[in-house]
Structure 1
Amino acid sequence: MDNSATKNSLLKKILGFILAFGPGIFAIGYTIGTGSVTSMIVAGSTYGMQLLWVLLLSCVFSGLLMYAYGNYALISGETALYSFKKHIKGGKFIAIFIILGISFGQWNSLMGILGISANIIYEIFYIYFPQIEGYKYESVLAIAVVVIGIMYALLLVGKYTFFEKILVIFVTIMGLSFLVSLFMVYPLPIEVVQGLVPSIPRVEGGKMMVAAFVGTTMAAATFLSRPLFIKGKGWTIKNRGQQTKDAITAAILVFLISGAVMAVASGALFHEGKPVVEVLDMVNTLEPVAGKFALTLFFFGTLSAGLSSIFPCLLIAPILLADYQSGELDTKSKQFKIITAVACLFALIVPVFGANPIQMQILSQVFNVFVLPMVIIGILLILNNRTIMKGHKTSIWIKVGLWLALIFACVVSYNGVLGIVELF
């Protein structure tokens, strides 16, 4: 009886921790999708743990930016783009540029996410129904249409709390799948330590991979949408402590889950000399090394990552537009339904044309990084406005951290430009 009571108590604590998660769950949903998983798998299988330092820095700065934007929302009661438009000289043009840049990046990412998710579901079906082998294109397209249709139907519910619960389920499955996989396939400890020493792979595509890492981990959409989701959660100035914990926890979980993906790919594929280029490579190379159970777990995690990202990616354009217009979280208007419907159709481009979703994912993550410096400059400007901050002073350490994040983002953006020039 005592053991049973202890187990029930532990389970309740775990469930309580998961369900107590606030807007940080959207941060994980935005950050760890198939874009992030793809980047981690490609990097781990191609460069080992060499880029772990980029992931660590990105997560530290992400946590800082989540905290800064969340704290600003609680103190001022205003959202990000609405504040840019209202309080920054030329802020209207900055806000429009950010909306266009983020929407472009997220919708491009959405194509890759849906393509990879549909391919993974196809591979799962193929295990049980090998007779579909000759109908891969038709099957993948049909799966993509069904998946995006279901996601759109869920979006029509239009409630923040409902979105949060859906994401909690996907993110929990994803996190557990990847972390359990890590116990089965892992790199040498010395490789992990060496990965924390800054270096860029001196090979073609190395600069682009660094930019893709930052583009997916320091996702501008994560920070800009945070004030909106804080409003949706109903948090006030009294929840500042909770907001801080939420931002820190989200950043730590992003590092642990993303690092686990990179480590599994490194441990299973890097020393075999088998870099991942196609979705099928993940099946053909991981199974002989990791075994069917680890492969199934890893794929289940990747699928959950994809599904958890489709939701926020569909949301981003209409909620940023609503933020700019009124500073409110809008999930029920006609405008919201029309824009998300267009996003759903846009997502089907990769499945319809049969393009390589992995290449599309990495390229879209690179484009995400170009908006990032503007997003950091924006929060620095409004945090220095004493009228909006109502007498609350921002810690000097937060400001220093934000300036370092800006320098880091600019350096990575420059590397992204060089990477794209090398590609084309």
Structure 2
Amino acid sequence: MDATTAKNSLLKKVIAIILGFGPGIFAIGYTIGTGSVTSMIVAGSKFNMQLLWVLLLSCFFSGILMFAYGNYALLTGETALYGFKKHLKFGKALAILIIIAVTFGQWNSLMGILGISSNIIFEILVLNFAGLSIYEYETVLITAIIIILVFYLLLLVGRYTFFEKILIIFVTLMGFSFLLSLFFVQPLALDVVKGIIPTIPDVAGGKMLVAAFVGTTMASATFLSRPLFVKGKGWTIKHLDQQKKDSITAAILIFVISGIIMAVAAGALYYDGKEVTHVLDMANTLEPVAGKWAVTIFFFGALSAGLSSIFPCLLIAPLLIADYQSGELDTNSKQFRIITFIACLVALMGPALGANPIEIQILSQVFNVFALPLVIIDIIILLNSKKVMKEYKTSLFVNMGMFASLLFACIISYNGILAMMEYF
């Protein structure tokens, strides 16, 4: 086999792996958006790699919970909220509470995502058309309207496989863009090792960032929506092993991509004592090292992260409501189109009000942690109910992982409450 043939064969294998990715691609879409990018960049610039342990634990527990929710769907044929409503005492009230809490957090995230994505495009335009700088508000708002309109029209296509392919493209571009950025700047290896040791920065904003980390990495929406995406993929009980591999792969990729973003920020900003208040700060710091390509590479990755999150965030409310009603999502229904249209209007509020998208994004991630303990408790009860699971028994390792994730979520939720009290 010559070198050219070997390269082509390797390329085909890589493409096959990417295209063969399952519902885990939606987990990455929910998790690594501009919320994650913003949290990782701000954390890296302020605290170096000190919060790497939070990311590691969050990804580990996320993998377990994705596996648990996916297995529940395959073994019972039911989705999450429908199962809560059907089997749990006060299940209807719990399910409705979860829908409200998760939708509130995700729609807040959507405002920040659209705001940051629009600002990124504005900064790229200004680099080429300096005269636009005096029309920042107008340009950002018009850009936001165009983006959300395009995504709404794409939603009307209404097919799972179409959404999956779009996300695969954005997530792949995002991963490669940030990986390329890492070649230009890296943190010290010792700082990476120290980051595994659990510590919370004893400074203003430290608690907020810890909560934001967990809010974006252990997102309730990721777990609740997984049964619907598993069913949308067409998986059955025969795909248990594939579902397990998909959960593990998604968790690993979330950790790797998020860790790379934090490392790039630490290498580019922390050692120079600089912090991020605007998205452009990151690229401008890379520019002396990597040249003008740094701006393009970083913005391309951040924009891909933002666009990869818009789809899942627009989908979350109709997903949860459809789950509650029947366990099935009809993307061609009038209900689906109305709810996603409302989500689009909510998303435009941030750019319309001219709010700082970075601040909105971090706050929205903190809100996401408050529903998390309830989401974990409910799945623990269902997976250990003989009436629900019948002959299927949840393994000791998965149970230990779920209870550990519950303890972690409770600690982080308490930390989030303290952070919000300090902020307001």
- Say yes or no: TM over 0.5: yes
Mapped contact 1:319–1:331 kept (Cα < 8 A): no
Give the structure 1 partner of residue 48 of structure 2.
48
Question: What displacement does 1:218 show?
Answer: 0.2
2:268 counterpart letter in structure 1: A
Give the structure 2 partner of residue 275 of structure 1.
275
Give the structure 2 partner of residue 194 of structure 1.
194
Question: What displacement does 1:282 show?
Answer: 2.6
Give the structure 1 partner of residue 70 of structure 2.
70
1:160 to 2:167 alignment: no
Give the structure 2 partner of residue 358 of structure 1.
358
1:208 counterpart letter in structure 2: M
Question: What displacement does 1:290 show?
Answer: 4.3
Give the structure 2 partner of residue 92 of structure 1.
92
Q: Deviations over 1:339-361 (max 9, x none)?
A: 00011011011111110000000
Question: What displacement does 1:409 show?
Answer: 0.2
Question: What displacement does 1:289 show?
Answer: 4.2
Give the structure 1 partner of residue 369 of structure 2.
369
User: Please, which moves more after superposition, 221-230 or 175-184?
Assistant: 175-184
Mapped contact 1:40–1:261 kept (Cα < 8 A): yes
* CA separation of 1:197 and 1:290: change in aligned 2, threshold 3 A: farther
2:305 counterpart letter in structure 1: A
Question: What displacement does 1:279 show?
Answer: 2.5
Query: In structure 2, how many angstroms separate the alpha carbons of the residues matched to 1:291 and 1:204?
Result: 33
Structure 2 unaligned residues grouped into runs of 5+: none
1:110 to 2:110 alignment: yes
Mapped contact 2:269–2:282 kept (Cα < 8 A): no
Give the structure 1 partner of residue 419 of structure 2.
419
Q: Pairwise mapping of residues 201-280 of structure 1 onto structure 2 (< 5 A)?
A: 201-280=201-280
Query: In structure 2, how many angstroms separate the alpha carbons of the residues matched to 1:26 and 1:198?
Result: 29
Mapped contact 1:36–1:258 kept (Cα < 8 A): yes
Give the structure 1 partner of residue 4 of structure 2.
4
Q: Deviations over 1:109-165 (max 9, x none)?
A: 000000000000111111111121211111111111100010001000000000000
Q: Deviations over 1:231-268 (max 9, x none)?
A: 10000011011000000000000000000000000000
Query: In structure 2, how many angstroms separate the alpha carbons of the residues matched to 1:288 and 1:353?
Result: 34
Question: What displacement does 1:283 show?
Answer: 3.6
Query: In structure 2, how many angstroms separate the alpha carbons of the residues matched to 1:303 and 1:353?
Result: 21
Give the structure 1 partner of residue 82 of structure 2.
82
Question: What displacement does 1:30 show?
Answer: 0.1
Mapped contact 1:75–1:390 kept (Cα < 8 A): no
1:401 to 2:401 alignment: yes
Q: Deviations over 1:161-201 (max 9, x none)?
A: 00000000000000111112112111000000000000000
Query: In structure 1, how many angstroms separate the alpha carbons of the residues matched to 2:87 and 2:291?
Result: 56
SS, match of residue 370 in structure 1: helix
Mapped contact 2:268–2:282 kept (Cα < 8 A): no
Mapped contact 2:178–2:297 kept (Cα < 8 A): yes
1:313 to 2:313 alignment: yes
Query: In structure 2, how many angstroms separate the alpha carbons of the residues matched to 1:259 and 1:224?
Result: 24
Query: In structure 2, how many angstroms separate the alpha carbons of the residues matched to 1:45 and 1:302?
Result: 16
1:368 counterpart letter in structure 2: N
Query: In structure 2, how many angstroms separate the alpha carbons of the residues matched to 1:4 and 1:119?
Result: 42
Mapped contact 1:229–1:329 kept (Cα < 8 A): no
Number of paired residues?
A: 424
Mapped contact 2:283–2:298 kept (Cα < 8 A): no
1:16 to 2:16 alignment: yes
Question: What displacement does 1:8 show?
Answer: 1.6
Q: Deviations over 1:271-310 (max 9, x none)?
A: 1111111233234333234432233212111000000000
Structure 1 unaligned residues grouped into runs of 5+: none
Query: In structure 2, how many angstroms separate the alpha carbons of the residues matched to 1:245 and 1:13?
Result: 17
Query: In structure 1, how many angstroms separate the alpha carbons of the residues matched to 2:12 and 2:286?
Result: 35
Query: In structure 2, how many angstroms separate the alpha carbons of the residues matched to 1:375 and 1:196?
Result: 27
Q: Deviations over 1:82-133 (max 9, x none)?
A: 0000000011111001100000000000000000000001111111111212
Identity %: 69
Mapped contact 1:231–1:329 kept (Cα < 8 A): no
Mapped contact 2:70–2:243 kept (Cα < 8 A): yes
Give the structure 2 partner of residue 298 of structure 1.
298
Give the structure 1 partner of residue 345 of structure 2.
345
TM-score by length of 1: 0.99
Query: In structure 1, how many angstroms separate the alpha carbons of the residues matched to 2:124 and 2:295?
Result: 11
Aligned residues: CA RMSD: 1.0
Mapped contact 1:207–1:418 kept (Cα < 8 A): yes
Q: Deviations over 1:366-391 (max 9, x none)?
A: 00000000000010010011232131
